[in-house]
Amino acid sequence: MLDAFALFSEPRRPSLDVEALKTRFLTQSAQVHPDRVHGAGEAEKAEATTRYAELNAAYQQLKETKDRLLHLYELEAGGPPRDIQRIPPGTMDLFVEVGEKCRDCDAYLAGRTATTSPMLKLKAFQAGLVWTDALLGLQQQVNARRDALATELTAMNAVWDAAPAVGNPARREALPLERLEQIYRTLSYVARWTEQIQERMVQLAV
């Protein structure tokens, strides 16, 4: 498995400076961009293309927190998480609330579409404003959960820094991989919830 962290000489950590990573990516990719070797032989051009593609894939993998955590977990555990569909601890409350609000909002939207009376349309418009506020509040809850996890990931960097070196058999036992996997799964739900909320916000604005 290609180690995206090593490709950018970045220490393996749950949290990193995305802007610094972007600067490093732009610098390294400019050095190996296929356009720089357009007059070279086919083998050299193919190597540059492969190198550039690897850098781009690694950058995409590291810049997004959720993708970075999955990659880090797979590097340290030697494989992907086993049960990514299981709801992470402490997530059920938002899971239920987002599901219920989205279903209720869908019912409102369906009723609004069927409304023809001017009076009922006015009431539907007013109800739509209430729904917009409710979804905004729900998104704030989701964002708060995401921000709390980001803070936790930053604190976890110290654990990775103190762990035995890569290749040391004791490294895996020293790392909180179960918690890392839980945060990864929670962020997967956060992304899904945000998408669901935004879809309904767009429909409410129409």
Q: Kindly indicate the confidence band of residue 42, based on its pLDDT and cuts at 50, 70 and 90.
A: low
Q: What is the mean pLDDT of residues 60-83?
A: 94
CA dihedral of 129, 133, 136, 138, whole degrees rounded to 10:
-120
pLDDT tens profile 80-128 = 988 666 788 889 999 999 999 999 999 999 999 888 888 888 888 899 9
Q: Output the six-digit token pair for 129.
A: 């404003």
82 in a domain, yes or no? Answer: no
pLDDT score of 145: 96
Q: Output the six-digit token pair for 70.
A: 């999955």
Of the three residues 63, 80, 110, the one that is the final residue of a domain is 63
The CATH number assigned to the domain holding 12 equals: 1.10.287.110
pLDDT score of 173: 96
The CATH number assigned to the domain holding 172 equals: 1.20.58
Side chain identity, residue 174: A
As a whole number of angstroms, the distance between CA 128 and CA 201 comes to 10
For residue 60, the SS3 value is helix
Residues 190 and 121 occupy one common structural domain: yes
Beta-carbon neighbour count of residue 63 at 10 Å?
A: 16
pLDDT score of 19: 96
Sign of CA dihedral 186, 187, 191, 197: positive
Which residues, at least 6 apart from 91, have a Cβ–Cβ distance to it below 8 Å? 145, 186, 189
- The parent domain of residue 136 ranges over 92-205
pLDDT score of 59: 96
| Number of domains making up the chain | 2
pLDDT score of 40: 61
Residues 135 and 199 occupy one common structural domain: yes
As a whole number of angstroms, the distance between CA 145 and CA 187 comes to 9
Cβ atoms of residues 123 and 163 within 8 Å: no
70 in a domain, yes or no? Answer: no
Residues 46 and 101 occupy one common structural domain: no
Q: Where are the beta strands (DSSP E) in 80-154?
A: none
Q: For the full predicted model, state whether its pTM sits above 0.75.
A: yes
